[in-house]
Amino acid sequence: MKRNGFSGSQIVCLLLMVLSFTGCAVVKTPYFQTDYYQMTSSRLDSLRGGLSVTNDSLYAGFSRVSITPDLNRNFTTKKEAKHNLIPLAGYGNRRGEPAEGVHDSIFVKAFALKSGNQTYILVSADILIMPPNIIDQLTSQLSQEGIKRDQLFFSATHSHSSIGGWGYGLMAKAFAGKENVNLEKWLISQMQTAILSAVSDLHPARLGSGSFDASPYTRNRLTGNQETINKDFTFLIVEQTGGKKALIGSFSAHATTLGRENMLISGDYPGYWQRKIESTAADLAIFCAGSTGSQSPVGSGDEYDNARYIGESLADSVLVHLDEVNMSEKLTVSALSLKINLPEYHIRLTANKNLGSGLSNKLMKKPENVYLQTLCINNLIWIFTPGDYSGESALLIKNIFSGKGYEAIVSGFNGSYIGYILPGKYFYYDHYESKLMGWFGPTMGDYAIDLINQMFKAIISDK
């Protein structure tokens, strides 16, 4: 399917070239000498004394709500001639064109966990990211139901063939199509329903976790160095007493088996993984994209054959390891939510010049509610990050935590999006991830690792 004209990403690149004469120098001040670091560190210090740790029986609830759109539903105004105006998100070269059909259904899913007087909810959806504007409105509405932002942990499958139309600004339009306010309201409603339904489904339960080496299904697309990939597939099993069973999995490979020529809505390989698990081992399967930065899928076949191969192969591997899992009805649970300050935008024009902050904000509004969060369940620590987090950095974090007796999961798309969070050594690398998507400068990766380390120390010191 050939498409004429400029793609969304080409338009953005052209705009950056035109504006290059107004660029600013790259800020090379060490992050630990900046105001944004000091403000965030002070905020973390203030949270240490209020860290709550529970050791009690587990209650769990689950929910699934469809976000498969009816392509003939009028999400638009009557003045617009077309009804079929739901773009696919993921590739700029699609130019925001509408989906031509639905290959497989997509969902938002929620898992609620209660221990003692603490309730936490994990939410993931078959969508490219959790858009900041959607999550900001959602959390505002949930606060009226008594659910706070620090109880919510977000992720996404990161499918590049899911619904768009949910973001504002030129960058969002380039990769997710024209904003559709009515579709945004519908998505918020579906997500809220999933969360409230999971909380209302709380029953006594037990939980266990496991992991296995899934390196055959991912590669390092940035450098090609397979020694720096986050290769583990990690999963949690949650069983209600005499009730339903859920399986939550996380893996670090982009959901890009379906290329830009695909115009059908699909959950990509995570969708196949979830359907295979739900048909064989659990009532509900939830997939959370791991540290997808720099990691691509590796499979067999083209397009949907490849998606099926990877998704079902990973599901089969989970089934093999289920009997190894030790289940527990009583858990030690703690959580920490840190709202972080960000550096100035560093959207690159050249090696040493970036687009000015004012012009950057024209491309995309700087996120205001950006969180790093940790959810600690016994000796498993799940780290929720607000972007495409580097697999190489995640591997470093996992090794550090392992030396202290903890297993770590690192996932992305935690209710905001700040681009690719990569090691600083790659900032000047001439690659899409660092050049176009490394939005917050050469120290953002080191800054994030520093904060994650501080959060880890706060959690383990309180045990």
CB-based contact 296:252 (threshold 8 Å): no
Quote the pLDDT of residue 1.
39
φ, ψ of residue 29 in degrees (nearest 5):
-60, 135
Q: Mean per-residue pLDDT for 357-372?
A: 84
Residue 218 pairs with which residues in a beta bridge?
Answer: 297
pLDDT in tens, 77-120: 555 444 457 999 999 899 889 999 999 999 999 999 999 999 99
The DSSP result for 310-366, as a single string, is HHHHHHHHHHHHGGGPPPBSEEEEEEEEEE--------EEETTEE--HHHHHHHSPP
- Whether 292 is covered by a domain: the verdict is yes
Closest by CA position to 378, among listed 334, 325, 323: 334
Q: Mean per-residue pLDDT for 261-282?
A: 98
- Whether 353 is covered by a domain: the verdict is yes
Which range is least confidently modeled, 103-117, 156-170, 184-198, 314-328? 156-170
Number of domains in the chain: 1
- Whether 343 is covered by a domain: the verdict is yes
- Whether 405 is covered by a domain: the verdict is yes
Quote the pLDDT of residue 240.
98
Closest by CA position to 426, among listed 129, 201, 228: 228
Residue 268 pairs with which residues in a beta bridge?
Answer: none
Length of the chain: 463
CB-based contact 336:297 (threshold 8 Å): no
- Whether 425 is covered by a domain: the verdict is yes
Alpha-carbon distance 368 to 385, whole Å? 15
Q: Does an H or E element contain 377, and which?
A: strand 371-377
Range of the domain at 313: 32-461
- Whether 190 is covered by a domain: the verdict is yes
Which range is least confidently modeled, 102-116, 201-215, 309-323, 364-378? 364-378
Alpha-carbon distance 101 to 84, whole Å? 9
Mean pLDDT of the chain: 91
Torsion over CA: 230, 348, 417, 400 (sign): positive
pTM attached to this predicted model: 0.92
Quote the pLDDT of residue 3.
43
CB-based contact 332:378 (threshold 8 Å): yes
Quote the pLDDT of residue 50.
81
Six token digits for residue 106:
């997509």
Alpha-carbon distance 306 to 271, whole Å? 12
pLDDT in tens, 209-234: 999 999 999 999 999 999 999 999 99
- Whether 42 is covered by a domain: the verdict is yes
- Whether 19 is covered by a domain: the verdict is no
Buried residues in 95-119 as b, exposed as e (16+ CB within 10 A): bbebbeebbbebbbbbbbbbbeeeb
